[in-house]
Every structure is written in structure tokens, then in C-alpha cells.
Amino acid sequence: MAFIDDVKTALRVTSVNAGIVGEITDLIAAAKADLQLSGLMGESILETDALIKRAIITYVKAYFGWNNPDTERLQQSYDLLKSHLSLSQEYSYYAVTFTVTAGAVPVDEAKVIFNGETKYTGTAGTAIFYVRKGNNYEYSVTADGYVPIENNIDISANTPIAISLVAG
């Protein structure tokens, strides 16, 4: 079943009238845009995700048609769901994964400073940070016996950063 059919079912609408279907389609698009404006990553707004689906349907139910006595309650419900989603790392933050090696060998206990936060790599040589989309995030990587590395990076998606340290 198409997502529009799921929304129509939630609204208790069976009409195929182009005006009604158009209004529902526009409300779905508005809900997705509103979720994105609240900080959710565009690629996390999937109609197959249960929480996203519930948020979109609640938004559509709140704004569909006229004289809906439940509008205020549904708007509040949607706002709470949106707030919950926008605070969740899975929906609104990108993973920035540093993999630090020396040659082909992972570097354990390399110090990675990214966006003012410090983490140390584990035995796999990785450290993961979560940030929102942005430009010029600064990072540095240091480890005993190696030349330090400093750089900036722009983040617009989940980002792997491979760092190859050189003995110093």
C-alpha cells in the first residue's frame, strides 16, 4: 500500500477526488519540510520509519479539512513527536567517524579532538562524534611518536575520515 493510502486510512478518507488527494499530498510534503526545518536530516525522513510515519500522519490529521475539534490536541502531539525526533542522534545528527592508522595498522589511544570534544580511539583505531550539518569543523589527531594532524571539514552527511599518521 502506498503511503498516501496509509494517510487516507488514518484520516478515514476513501475519496479519490483530486482536490482532496492534492490537499493530503500537500500536507505530507509540508510535514516533511517542517521536520527538516526542525533539524532532522533529510535522509532520515523515511515514510517507512514508524516514528516518522506517525509524525507525518499526526501532522496531516491536525491540519486536514475544516472544523476539526481535535486540531489543537493533534498539533501538540505532533510538536512533542517532532521535538523528540529532533533531539535524537539517529534523526538529526551526522556520525563523523575517524579511523586512525599508521600504515595499515589501527592506532589505539590516538587523541582525536573534533568540534571541541575529545575522544580516544580504541583498538580498531576509530572514534565517532555526532554533529549537526555545518561548515569548518576543526579537528586534530595526535598520538605518541607521530606527527600531529590538524584540519577543517564540512559536514553534510555521515562522514568517514581516514587519518594516516606518520612517525615523527
Q: State whether 18 and 83 are in the same domain.
A: yes
Nearest by Cα to 31 from 6, 59, 52, 62: 59
pLDDT grade for 66, boundaries at 50, 70 and 90: confident
The range of the structural domain enclosing residue 28 comes to 3-90
What is the C-alpha separation between 58 and 64, in angstroms, rounded?
Answer: 10
Are 139 and 153 spatial neighbours (Cβ–Cβ below 8 Å)? yes
Given 33, 63, 90, the domain boundary residue is 90
Q: State whether 84 and 22 are in the same domain.
A: yes
Q: State whether 21 and 83 are in the same domain.
A: yes
Overall average pLDDT of the 41-70 stretch: 91
Overall average pLDDT of the 19-24 stretch: 94
Neighbouring residues of 108: CB distance < 8 A, sequence distance ≥ 6: 121, 122, 123, 125
Overall pTM > 0.75: no
104-123 pLDDT tens trace? 999 999 999 999 999 999 99
Count of Cβ atoms closer than 10 Å to residue 105 Cβ? 9
Share of the chain above pLDDT 90, in %: 78
Higher pLDDT, residue 156 or 23: 23
Q: State whether 9 and 85 are in the same domain.
A: yes
Continuous H helices in 49-149: 50-63, 71-86, 89-92
pLDDT grade for 137, boundaries at 50, 70 and 90: very high
Cell 555526532 locates to 130
